[in-house]
Amino acid sequence: MRQVSGYFLILFMIFSFVVALPAAVQGYRTTEKFTPDMAVNGGWASQYEKEFADVITLRKPGLTLWGMAELALFRGGRPGVLIGRDGWLFSDEEFTYAQNREALITRHKAMIGQVIDRLHHDGVAVAVALLPAKSRIAESKLGRFRYPSYNRALYGDILAMLRTRDVFAPDLNAALRNDPESFLRTDTHWSPQGARIAADAVATAIRQKGKIGLETQGFILEEQAPESLKGDLLRYVPAGPLLERFSFGRVEVPQHAAITSAADDGGESALFGDVSLPVTLVGTSYSANGSWNFADYLKVALQSDLFNAADEGRGPFATMRDYLDSAAYKTNPPQLVIWEIPERYMALPEAE
């Protein structure tokens, strides 16, 4: 098999060279005339790269062909994904070991503590939804891969730290493990089912630890049309028609919306847009992306309205800093902040 794959790689490289040569020449001809200044500032190289990509006609089919070969021969994908069993994909971020790993974890613990202290100083209650890694919850689907030993104790360590503070911190690892479909097979994120379990766990933790006097508002779930979703991890598996054969097709995810019940007219908050909301949700794409319905499930579980300050493009720490620096927080802090933090960000240098 190793010899066959070697021959395939050589043939593919020869084929790529033959296909790319005309595009390389044409790209040079259509690129703006070369000057020393453009070479120094990188402008010429950037422009040439764009012209080359525009000219080459077999670029996309070639990438698909290579992706099909990677999947069929090696059960592999592009850097960024690990291919497990039964059509499950995992982000390689959950397996990253940073050189300064312990320093990163220590730093992020300190940041969490500082945020909690700031919120408590301002009279705001805090709930932390510490989200376990997908590979931890769906470990049985890792196939030939193994969950990293250096990550085993991470979730429990962070949860124990949180529980030394005066915060609501449910064990979402235990809650989500009870349902194998808590995460989506081909996506980084949890499923709506997992988001609903997490929302219920957060609300239960708040009720068990004591009331914080939230202004209640009657919410019920209204079922919406399901969404056909192509998992975000599939961008690392450009295998074209082979995706369906390997169970990597689109998935239907149920959708719900939180609406006020008929018995609750919403009071002033339904009439005036400037009335502050009692709860703020801060976090990552697990909270910001409406496909998972996390904010809606929280509204129903808490029976309280909320402001969603989560950001789909950033980590939990940068998003929280932005919220605490915002005029909305400084002029009218909420009664409760729910902070969603994915476990994997604790050891990632990009988490800032």
**Catalytic residue annotation:** 187, 189, 285
| C-alpha–C-alpha distance, residues 166 and 89, integer Å | 37
Collect all residues with Cβ–Cβ distance below 8 Å to 27 and sequence separation of at least 6.
48, 51, 52, 54, 55, 56
Angstrom CA distances, 184 to 89, 172, 253, 254, stand at 9, 16, 9, 12
| C-alpha–C-alpha distance, residues 348 and 352, integer Å | 9
Report H helices in 31-144: 36-41, 43-55, 59-74, 101-121, 134-137
User: Residues in the chain, how many?
Assistant: 352
Collect all residues with Cβ–Cβ distance below 8 Å to 31 and sequence separation of at least 6.
44, 47, 48, 51
**Tokens 């709506």 correspond to what residue?**
192
SS3 content of the chain, % helix, strand, coil (to 5): 50, 15, 35
Helix (H) or strand (E) holding 342: strand 336-342
Helix (H) or strand (E) holding 91: strand 89-91
Is residue 100 classed exposed, middle or buried when 0-12, 13-18 and 19+ CB atoms within 10 A define those classes? exposed
Torsion, Cα 70 75 76 77, to 10 degrees, reads 70
- Report whether 159 contacts 169 (CB < 8 A): yes
Q: Give counts: helices (H), strands (E), the chain.
A: 14, 8
The one-letter amino acid code at 280 reads T
- Report whether 169 contacts 128 (CB < 8 A): yes
